[in-house]
Amino acid sequence: MAILKVANLGNPILRIPAEPVKNIQAPEIQRLIDDMIETMREYHGVGLAAPQVHRSLQIVTIEAEPEPDESTTPSAPTILINPRIVSANERLEEDWEGCLSVPNLRGKVPRHTDIEVQAHDRRGKLLSFPATDFFARVIQHECDHLVGTVFLDRMKSLETLTFLEEYGRYWARHEDEE
């Protein structure tokens, strides 16, 4: 396994739609998945999409804890290949997001609180499951990468855009007090 270079905002790979994976069992795809997991962990991310490591493929790795009542959600790390969000509730919740491709910045992004996801796992098995709250947020964030969107594009206002250090100093403390 290897730690891969993460593409930063401005790299064109982050703005083009990723290609579907045709042969999930191909050794190079399986190796890429392992490398993406290692890269995500190395940089303390909760999710990583293949375009972020310079591969225009519809692969997402996630290591965020699903909600306790989501017994049908795959266990971590979650691998989603050719994922699609097939439905989402109308309720949006604004919360903080960051991104390995937009280092040291955070901002509030509105996301659906409940979604239904279809994808294939790394063995090619079709998955269909609900996701809520933080897990749903991470899936939506990573699926955005597969269509050339970054979290900054989804922000309603740039007023909450902040450097990570300032987030910890001012915003995180304020959020804990509420």
111, 137 Cβ separation under 8 angstroms = yes
111's CB contacts (< 8 A; 6+ apart) are: 92, 93, 94, 95, 136, 137, 140, 141, 154
Beta-carbon neighbour count of residue 29 at 10 Å? 19
Largest Cα–Cα distance in the chain?
49
Going across the sheet that includes 162-163, the strands are 92-99, 102-112, 162-163
Show which residues are catalytic.
142
Three-state DSSP string of 164-178: HHHHHHHHHHHHHHC
Q: Which two tokens stand for residue 155?
A: 């922000």
Residues in the chain: 178
Strands 102-112 and 92-99: antiparallel
